[in-house]
A and B are shown apart, each in its own frame.
Chain A
Amino acid sequence: MAKTILDIRGLRKTYGQHEVLKGVDCAVQEGEVIAIIGSSGSGKTTMLRCINMLEEFQGGTISLDGEEIGYHVEGTARRRKSEKEIARQRALTGMAFQQFNLFPHMTAAENVMLGLIKVKKMAKFEARAIAETWLDRVGLASRVDHYPGQLSGGQQQRVAIARAIAMAPRLMLFDEVTSALDPELVGEVLQVIKGLAADGMTMLLVTHEMRFAYEVSSRVIFMNQGVICEEGNPKEMFVRPKTERLAEFLKTSSFN
């Protein structure tokens, strides 16, 4: 029996008056690869950002390995955890962004080493060894000492993934990591993600690549207007959508 890693209950998030997440419930088992799809503005990015506490949320709970993320909840009272505590919790989930967000003044290796040294308090040589291992894994053994400005978009994104994975997170979050890439560079990044899936990494990936979602995920979540509208096995969902909304969405998306 697989173990629940992530448990989201009744997640609500508002920007001012605008309710963006309207009660999301979702439990993720260890080793699951979940593709999150849905039209623009449906709240996919916001959900990932709440899991990593890059956004505050107003209602519901998110727990990781049974530990509540971001807030102490006692009855109806809810208090943000300390910055230090939240930083520790953030290190438990890795995140890769659409825009790579590599630190431009550090080499590929230094980008990967920074968290190992500052957060995991590793010695430099130890961090360097881990950085080299992961950069090798994403196919960048020969680019270890290159700066982001000297790398292609696909290479930068692979460094960014290595940087997140090197922290040995319990869970990886990917937010449209191929959307900013030239089409010919998408494949190399998807290949890396497939490799991680094969290793048994638990992952949530927001993607517009329906073909990829179909191939790599063990479960698909379709979000619509701030709620999970439909979820299930990709083989089922893409072929026989149950809701009108999903059928419509699939028609307009690139999957064929």
Chain B
Amino acid sequence: MGYTLNFGAVWRNFDFLLHGLMLSLGLAVTSILIGAAIGLVLAFALISKNRFAVVPARLYVTVLRNLPILVLVLFAYFALPQMGFRLDKIKSFVLVLSVYSGAYLAEVFRAGLLSIPKGLTEAGLAIGLTSMQIRTSIIAPLMVRNVLPSLSSTVISLFKDTSLAAAIAVPELTFAARKINVESFRVIETWMITSALYVATCFLIAALLRFVERRLALPR
């Protein structure tokens, strides 16, 4: 039985897909920014000498990295309200993806912190900076430069995880595609275009990060 490709239905709904993509990006950007803040704090805790910092941070990272994100998404959306935390779909998903990104970014950041020479911290201490000032003015900016080359795979992976929001009917790209699919029956066309949008966006993210990396490169 022949199947003739007909993209008409998909093009007519292309706006709807783009809206979905914008929401996917919005979810990813918000969650990754919050996750980066969480990851930064965790990374400093992971490399600290204080057991009361290391143990909880290690526990957080280990638990979250061993949970399927879909389970977290469903847990936050269905179980948390039972426990008295009622969040709308989008907030619930952002919460999950932020917490989850935090665990992955913590590991990336930790690796970036380890390669910063101890002498820089000592130079900072010697001029009278506090540990917190050293972290914010010296260590964090250098860590970011260290991790940028390896950051894109994590960021892209987190962006792709936004498709799991479809499971709780957040109208992001995957959910939008499913809706078009169901209404138009153009199965192949819908998923082809949707795949192309994901791939193109991932390329753009990688290109953007490479651009940032070049902009922040230290002159020599």
Q: Is the interface of B mostly helix, strand, loop or mixed?
A: helix
B88 to chain A, nearest CB (A): 41
Partner of B128, one of A104, A147, A150, A167: A167
A127 to chain B, nearest CB (A): 12
Instruction: Report the tally of A-B residue pairs with Cβ distances under 8 A.
Output: 75
Nearest B-chain residue to A151, judged by Cβ: B220
A132 to chain B, nearest CB (A): 18
The answer to whether B128 and A83 touch across the interface, beta carbons within 8 angstroms, is no
The answer to whether A101 and B117 touch across the interface, beta carbons within 8 angstroms, is yes
| A130-180 with Cβ < 8 A to chain B | 147, 149-150, 160, 163-164, 167
Cα A147 to Cα B125 with chains together (Å): 21
CB neighbours of B119 from chain A (8 A): 97, 99, 101
Chain A interface size, under 10 / 10 to 19 / 20 to 34 / 35 or more: 20 to 34
The size of the chain B interface, using a CB distance under 8 A, is 22
With A97-B122, A118-B133, A147-B218: A103-B127 Cβ-Cβ less than 8 Å = no
Cα A99 to Cα B120 with chains together (Å): 10
Nearest A-chain residue to B145, judged by Cβ: A105
The answer to whether B123 and A103 touch across the interface, beta carbons within 8 angstroms, is yes
Cα A88 to Cα B126 with chains together (Å): 10
Q: Does A129 contact B (CB under 8 A)?
A: no
A182 to chain B, nearest CB (A): 18
Task: Produce 1/0 per residue, B108-151, CB < 8 A to A.
Answer: 00000000010110111111111101000110011001000000
Cα A122 to Cα B145 with chains together (Å): 28
Cα A68 to Cα B122 with chains together (Å): 21
B33 to chain A, nearest CB (A): 21
B134 to chain A, nearest CB (A): 9
CB neighbours of B127 from chain A (8 A): 90-91, 94, 114-115, 119, 163-164, 167
B184 to chain A, nearest CB (A): 53
Identify which of A88, A103, A149, A167 gathers the most chain B CB atoms within 10 Å of its CB.
Answer: A103
Q: Does B219 contact A (CB under 8 A)?
A: yes
Cα A94 to Cα B122 with chains together (Å): 12
CB neighbours of B125 from chain A (8 A): 52-54, 87, 90
B121 to chain A, nearest CB (A): 9
Task: Produce 1/0 per residue, B180-195, CB < 8 A to A.
Answer: 0000000000000000
A130 to chain B, nearest CB (A): 13
Cα A103 to Cα B218 with chains together (Å): 11
Nearest A-chain residue to B216, judged by Cβ: A105
Other contacts beyond A115-B129, A149-B219: 20, CB < 8 A: A52-B126, A54-B125, A83-B130, A84-B130, A87-B130, A90-B125, A90-B127, A91-B128, A94-B126, A95-B123, A97-B119, A97-B122, A97-B123, A103-B120, A103-B123, A105-B141, A105-B218, A118-B133, A119-B128, A164-B126
Residue positions of B touching A, CB distance < 8 A: 117, 119-120, 122-131, 133, 137-138, 141-142, 145, 218-220
Chain A to chain B: the 5 pairs with minimum beta-carbon distance, closest first: A91-B128, A149-B220, A115-B127, A101-B123, A101-B119
Can you name 17 A-B pairs with beta carbons within 8 Å? Answer: A53-B125, A54-B126, A84-B130, A87-B125, A87-B130, A90-B125, A90-B127, A94-B127, A97-B123, A103-B138, A105-B138, A105-B142, A114-B129, A119-B127, A119-B129, A160-B123, A167-B128
Residue positions of A touching B, CB distance < 8 A: 52-54, 83-84, 87-88, 90-91, 93-95, 97, 99, 101-105, 114-115, 118-119, 147, 149-150, 160, 163-164, 167
